């Protein structure tokens, strides 16, 4: 299904037709019959078109990390610093300028969202993560913050620099789960999660912490077969190709490297 937002005018790119199917899920820990794990899921997108319109679409796509990581960094309620003041992620629209930790105001060109369902979030890799107030120091974050499973935080200096020589890097939040200050959640209700693409990638300012805006990383065209890559790029109608994501803002640490550093 494809639809325009109220602010938009004119046609929207057609939805990609994908047949819904499912595969067996692992047994639930409480002994209940498992809910089938879908092979596809529904992805919501909203983007800034070349003529300045705001268009939106709902598409089905593969339920695989390549797709899911593009839609699952910020849970509903996360407050983003913008040129218009703090705005909850669910209230953002493309065209708003996000204030980055790098000191820039960058236009949001794309917003993606999907829903995490309780029966399909049985571990830290697939469910939301709560970062408690002050987990990374005073005011970082300023209050409890719920992030999606694909969130990466920007960490700077200190232990990072001593161990890696890097002044700053993006670290998967799931690698920082300790069960006390950073907690993997198993919500009882569905949770909507979001991600944002900026005109130039940077670190979103979210409640006192820095969250990486979406970027697929380098070398994707050599790691993903052409048909899957085409389906993936169809989720980003504002881009002509992978090169339009631009260069990554900072290096990334793997989960293993981050876990060793902060474990």
* pLDDT for 14: 34
Strand pairing category for 105-116 and 40-48:
antiparallel
Nearest to 97 by CA among 111, 87, 82, 110: 82
* pLDDT for 216: 96
Query: In which residue are the tokens 């057609």 written?
Result: 14
pLDDT digits (tens, 9 = 90+) for 12-49: 333 333 333 344 444 445 555 555 555 899 999 999 99
* pLDDT for 10: 35
11: DSSP letter: -
Domains of the chain with CATH codes = 40-260 (2.170.16.10)
Nearest to 75 by CA among 1, 148, 13, 179: 148
* pLDDT for 56: 98
| DSSP state letters, 208-250 | TEEEEPP---TTHHHHS-HHHHHHHHTT-TT-SSGGGG-S-SS
CA separation for the pair 37, 113 (Å, rounded) = 19
Which pair of tokens denotes residue 247?
């260069």
Stretches in the chain below the pLDDT threshold 50:
1-28, 124
pLDDT digits (tens, 9 = 90+) for 169-197: 999 999 999 999 999 998 889 999 999 99
Q: Compute the Cα dihedral for 63, 67, 73, 78 and give only its sign.
A: negative
């Amino acid at each position: 299904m494809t639809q325009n937002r109220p602010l938009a005018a004119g046609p929207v790119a057609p939805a990609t037709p994908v047949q819904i199917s499912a595969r067996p899920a692992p047994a639930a820990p409480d002994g209940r019959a498992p809910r089938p794990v879908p092979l596809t899921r529904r992805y919501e997108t909203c983007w800034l078109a070349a003529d300045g319109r705001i268009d939106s679409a709902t598409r089905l796509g593969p339920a695989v990390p390549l797709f899911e990581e593009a839609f699952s960094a910020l849970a509903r309620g996360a407050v983003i610093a913008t040129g218009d003041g703090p705005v909850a992620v669910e209230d953002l629209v493309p065209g708003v300028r996000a204030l980055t930790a790098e000191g820039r105001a960058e236009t949001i060109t794309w917003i993606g969202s999907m829903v995490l369902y309780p029966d399909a979030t049985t571990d830290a890799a697939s469910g939301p993560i709560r970062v408690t107030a002050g987990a990374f120091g005073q005011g970082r974050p300023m209050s409890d913050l719920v992030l999606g499973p694909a969130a990466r935080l920007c960490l700077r200096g200190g232990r990072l620099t001593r161990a890696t020589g890097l002044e700053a890097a993006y670290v998967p939040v799931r690698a920082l789960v300790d069960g006390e200050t950073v907690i993997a959640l198993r919500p009882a209700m569905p949770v909507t999660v979001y991600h944002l693409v900026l005109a130039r990638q940077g670190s979103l300012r979210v409640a006192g912490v820095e969250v990486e805006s979406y970027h697929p990383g380098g070398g994707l065209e050599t790691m993903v077969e052409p048909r899957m890559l085409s389906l993936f790029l169809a989720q980003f109608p504002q881009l002509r190709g992978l090169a339009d994501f631009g260069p990554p803002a900072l290096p990334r640490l793997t989960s293993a490297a981050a876990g060793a550093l902060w474990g």
